[in-house]
Structure 1
């Protein structure tokens, strides 16, 4: 079946969990993601590892590509036989220029589909306790672009009619025109004491809002430093915020982090950080490449040691494809480096007999040395080029060790210096979860590595990655005691107290 098709995808207002199921499916199966600044950055964690990402950043006054260039790009990619996801913040058809792109695709014979999304026009007010409509307060909702200059004489907007509106008016993309909008509405007859609300970065950990009146909103916005992206709501319904809004403080609120894990692990990581208030950007610095390997005579071994989820998944899938299943491990002792690896084993019907308390090779040795391994046959499916410590220590204890390289970590094909520098500029913290990821970061940054990384908070998953960075001349700011995402989050929370 032909794949060439362009999907114009709404990615929601900011909270990555507000994306639709269909949008998630399209993103994860697309060959190319064409995106700009206003999509939730966590969404990029849904991409498949072979997907190409193209940044076309469009914000007021700063265009990476013109609209015409974007239109041509979409047609070109489709004609190359690609499945393309054109990602847009909110709903693509609410001031997202979706209609223009769809018409251009139609004109050039390109198959396309529009995937609606949740708009900040409704999610923004709701996130601060303001339902856009209410049976007793507002029976209508008007959504207006604020990109048009309110002082323009030949306006396409009927400001006189709008000023008489007793319902709710939501202006999108209007952070720079808050004062002009308020003045124009008052000039056309709207009560200067009419309630209004501003919501910046709606539904994210950076969200801020202001409740005001038309007469005071410009001054209040400046006092609070309200900027883009921002919605402006006008209407009596704004008063509902006093009744319904419940402020909450998340421990990593206002923090922006860069997740460098492999793409297939990035989505879950991004959601964990987002749930704590952080804005999570995704830039995989390693990808997992399966190696050719043979399944050994499993029953001839006394113990299997798994040191990663990747090793579990690749080994088990290969075993299952050979016609065997988890029953073959009956009577064989299974060791997992940590709970995530143990969970991966459990998904294949295997319960780990031993889970290391410290999620390192040293932790594994500590967990099994009391049992004694002298004369036992141990198999370790793991990454090519992994630290030799585990094998050496087991052999020193008298074990017979078979090491099976089932994958290797390498630089992602679509990683490059320009895009990595661009991503680093967005964040205040960088998270490294492996020495190989840290090594690839240094390679991409070249001579500027130390200078730029020293401007960020460097957080590592554990001592091995921290040690690599120290040997490379960089001092990590934090290192997790528990070597998981949760451990990293706890370390960052502790540093903010």
Structure 2
């Protein structure tokens, strides 16, 4: 068996958007993914199906595996002829011990490549409004470990040089030693009034920071209960923190939000909440799967000319219907002569992306509003086809039939209870990290309480606000004994996000 290839990958400081394109490409193809405590667990979603994922995290001296055992593990897996993605927080060669791992690989005769990552010493201050260099303050920066190798007989620090330097000083892993760092700098001549900043969990949704002085920073950090992982920045550039700070102004910063939508539908909501600073807990309660047999769907697609109206109720309905349209060898020209309705702006956007501009998008996305609008457009006596989930609420087709339409429901996909581990969300609830629970359909409510018992959630209800997208979802929630705290006037995802932001500001 040939020897494998190891990629030493910098995962960046934590913001998923700061992972490099090259790093993601390797994660998507690697056979084995070995990752650290500071590497964002979201990156595991990029791993290919069947990849072996191994956690070797090191957290403040608490090592899942000591470094020598990590080295042995990497060598052993590569020796099996596998492609290894060794994912390390920040940059592998900046206080990441990547150099040591590379030396082990060289000695073992194993090929490797290094994919640099954005180091926390630059990124965390930047997200806190602190440029590590600025021509009004300094033209150089010095990166320093705040936690030296305890086996070294002699320190590698020259405190006199640090103290007299005009460089910005950036200390990694130094919170425990902050009193010693401050004392050494002051005793060697650094002005006690020098601005000092601490940035904890830099670039992540739970980032926090503050600025003090060299003389007072250790005491203030203790009072604020600042712990690792934190970056310490010493120098005049810290005075720009309040002026240039941008990340911590995000309206949902450090707000835990549970998203219960199916994974296929959740990406837009998750990314929007993330941009607003929220700590998003993806907890898809619905699984979406194709039908086993699409013969009935293809039959109706070939006979589209026999219908008057085509009503799409979801993005998934559009996706799976158009998949079969393509399989049948047809395209958007097959819709000639039909009138098409889209329930909701997201569904309308999905149709536009397929080259179809809907003839009707109701102002209110409930059955009554849809039927009223369609009646105005002469739906009575018309043949109506509704591509949708195999099992769904019957309100819309029933109301259309009452209005005199000839309605056929065409299943194009199936939904079910997601196979999801409720543990992480339950743990976050217990730890007080969840602030909002969002429901975007009746199914998400029903499935959520199938995965987490209502009695279990009730214990945390006073600390968690429930957001429902509309009255139908609210009525389902009430069946489980809960009332929503938030419901937008417009029953859309953007409106739901808007009211979350408004509520968080109060």
TM-score, with structure 1 as normaliser: 0.83
Whether the aligned pair in 2 keeps the contact of 1:286 and 1:409 (CA below 8 Å) is yes
Q: Which moved more, 1:37-46 or 1:482-491?
A: 37-46
Distance 1:304 1:77 in 2: 54
Deviations 1:420-461 (A, max 9, x none): 434544432222223333333333334763345524222222
Q: 2:439 aligns with which of 432, 438, 454?
A: 432
TM-aligned CA distance change 1:88 to 1:284, over 3 Å: farther
Aligned position for 1:349: 355
Whether the aligned pair in 2 keeps the contact of 1:159 and 1:185 (CA below 8 Å) is yes
Deviations 1:352-402 (A, max 9, x none): 111122223443223213334233211111112111112222222232222
Aligned position for 1:385: 391
Deviations 1:81-115 (A, max 9, x none): 99776554433443344455666777888876543
Tell me the number of residue pairs that the alignment of Structure 1 and Structure 2 aligns.
494
Distance 1:437 1:75 in 2: 45
- How far does residue 338 in structure 1 lie from its aligned partner after superposition? 0.5
Q: 1:462 aligns with which of 470, 475, 479?
A: 470
Distance 1:288 1:321 in 2: 19
- How far does residue 259 in structure 1 lie from its aligned partner after superposition? 2.2
Whether the aligned pair in 1 keeps the contact of 2:263 and 2:284 (CA below 8 Å) is yes
Whether the aligned pair in 2 keeps the contact of 1:45 and 1:270 (CA below 8 Å) is no
Aligned position for 1:416: 421
Aligned position for 2:195: 195
Q: 1:369 aligns with which of 369, 375, 379?
A: 375
Whether the aligned pair in 2 keeps the contact of 1:337 and 1:361 (CA below 8 Å) is no
Distance 2:150 2:192 in 1: 17
1:232-247 mapped onto 2 (5 Å cutoff): 232-241=232-241, 244-245=244-245
Whether the aligned pair in 1 keeps the contact of 2:127 and 2:246 (CA below 8 Å) is no
Distance 2:221 2:166 in 1: 23
Whether the aligned pair in 2 keeps the contact of 1:435 and 1:464 (CA below 8 Å) is yes
Distance 1:151 1:317 in 2: 62
Distance 1:179 1:19 in 2: 33
Q: Which moved more, 1:446-455 or 1:357-366?
A: 446-455
- For the pair 1:359 / 2:365, whether they are aligned, the reply is yes
Distance 2:193 2:96 in 1: 32
- For the pair 1:401 / 2:407, whether they are aligned, the reply is yes
1:160-239 mapped onto 2 (5 Å cutoff): 160-204=160-204, 206-239=206-239
1:56-71 mapped onto 2 (5 Å cutoff): 58-60=58-60
Aligned position for 1:337: 343
Whether the aligned pair in 2 keeps the contact of 1:306 and 1:337 (CA below 8 Å) is yes
Q: 1:486 aligns with which of 478, 494, 498?
A: 494
Whether the aligned pair in 2 keeps the contact of 1:205 and 1:250 (CA below 8 Å) is no
Deviations 1:61-89 (A, max 9, x none): 66666667777877898899997765544
- How far does residue 346 in structure 1 lie from its aligned partner after superposition? 0.4
Q: 1:476 aligns with which of 477, 484, 497?
A: 484
Task: Tell me the SS of whatever aligns to 1:479.
Answer: coil
Distance 1:111 1:363 in 2: 64
Structure 1: stretches of 5+ with no match in the other structure: none
Q: Which moved more, 1:90-99 or 1:315-324?
A: 90-99
Higher-Rg structure is: 2
TM-aligned CA distance change 1:370 to 1:469, over 3 Å: same
Task: Tell me the SS of whatever aligns to 1:175.
Answer: coil
Task: Tell me the SS of whatever aligns to 1:342.
Answer: helix
Aligned position for 2:334: 328
- How far does residue 272 in structure 1 lie from its aligned partner after superposition? 1.0
Distance 1:360 1:30 in 2: 46
- For the pair 1:319 / 2:325, whether they are aligned, the reply is yes
Distance 1:463 1:200 in 2: 40
- How far does residue 303 in structure 1 lie from its aligned partner after superposition? 0.9
- How far does residue 408 in structure 1 lie from its aligned partner after superposition? 1.8
Distance 1:376 1:120 in 2: 62
Q: 1:300 aligns with which of 297, 302, 306?
A: 306
